[in-house]
Structure 1
Amino acid sequence: MKLLVDAMLGSLARVLRMCGHDAAYCLDRGIEADDEILDLAAREDRVVVTRDRQLADRAPERLLVESKDVDEQLEELGAAGVDLSPAPGERCGACNGELRDVDSERDLPEYVPEDASPVWRCGDCGQYFWTGSHWADVEARLAER
């Protein structure tokens, strides 16, 4: 399922990406208007994720969340059947690009811990990722859903 997350749900988009979902975020694409969102969703065959009931009513494929709280939004999506299993190494949390394995022999930026393994790099924005201590928190948060 490819998702298009509206402007009100940026934090949710990041978590969905950490679960491996192709979760495009409207503001990353420079759009906010409902007509533009619907057009993009149709062109890219995406399900619109929104808190906006009027937008949801117009979208052929949509997931409407009602809460303002990200944890409660995750509960709503989980109840709707969205897989919320952590998927490190799949998607860039920043830009939604696909992550690629980085050969451990290559020179990594100084900010990547020496013991980080595996390490991934976003094919779009170039950021590096690894399963640091924050992944335990992410896994615990998602396990509650």
Structure 2
Amino acid sequence: MGKDENAETPKHSTDPENAALLLDVMLGKLAVYLRMCGYDAVYALDRGIEADDRLLVLADEGGRRLLTRDVQLAQRTSDGVLLESRDVTDQLRELEEAGFELSLNDQPVRCGRCNGPVERVGGDEKVPEYAPNPSERAVFRCTRCGQHFWKGSHWDAVEEALASL
């Protein structure tokens, strides 16, 4: 979207291992889903950015593909993706139709909160009270924000949503 017929083929990948995305302020929930699918998905409000011009600069400087619900903003990018739906499941369906790979990895690779890389916590490491015992269940920690998480009901709900696409 936002590109003419004579423009080059988009330079950005739809493969989570190779894609760098920027999501505008209307796509915060989608950012979490994409991070859980392994995408490097920066959410504009996490960077304190709302202005269209600043979003375009961030996307360009970071080599990120812009995902937006804003028609005019999408038209200002060479390979931005315009999402029409407000519902996150429908947004995921639109991305899948656009060729994005949407599935959960066996192990999380990105933090749903901040987009940082995650690592598995050792079985003898201390974890916050809210987390399960890592010797009994795989627990992961974000190397950037320190958030601990595991495959629980939220993981199952995202997996179910992806399976329904």
Greater Cα offset, 26-35 or 128-137: 128-137
* Structure number having the greater helix percentage: 1
Give the aligned partner of residue 149 of structure 2. 129
Alignment check: 8 A CA contact 1:17 1:92 kept: yes
Residues 23-34 of structure 1 correspond to what in structure 2 (within 5 A)?
23-34=41-52
TM-superposed deviation, 1:61: 2.4
Summarize deviations over 1:92-120 as a string: whole Å, max 9, x none. Answer: 11111111121111111111112652211
Query: For 1:57-136, what aligned pairs fall within 5 Å after superposition?
Result: 57-87=75-105, 88-114=107-133, 117-136=137-156
Number of the residue aligned with 2:11: none
One-letter amino acid matched to 1:5: L
For structure 1, which segment, 38-47 or 52-61, has the greater mean C-alpha deviation from structure 2 after superposition? 52-61
Report runs of 4+ in structure 1 exceeding 4 Å deviation. none
> Counterpart in 2 of 1:22?
40
SS at match of 1:3: strand
In 2, are the aligned partners of 1:5 and 1:13 still within 8 Å (CA)? yes
Confirm or deny: 8 A CA contact 1:16 1:23 kept in the other structure.
Answer: yes
1:137 CA displacement: 1.8
Q: Distance in 2 between matches of 1:61 and 1:105?
A: 46
Q: Say whether the 8 Å CA contact 2:23–2:41 is kept in structure 1.
A: yes
User: CA contact under 8 A between 1:66 and 1:73: conserved in structure 2?
Assistant: yes
Match of 2:26 in 1: 8
Q: What's the secondary structure of 2:73's corresponding residue?
A: helix
Superposed CA RMSD in Å reads 1.2
Identity of aligned residues (%): 52
- Distance in 2, matches of 1:94 and 1:41, equals 20
Q: Is the radius of gyration larger for structure 1 or structure 2?
A: 2
Paired residues, what number?
Answer: 145
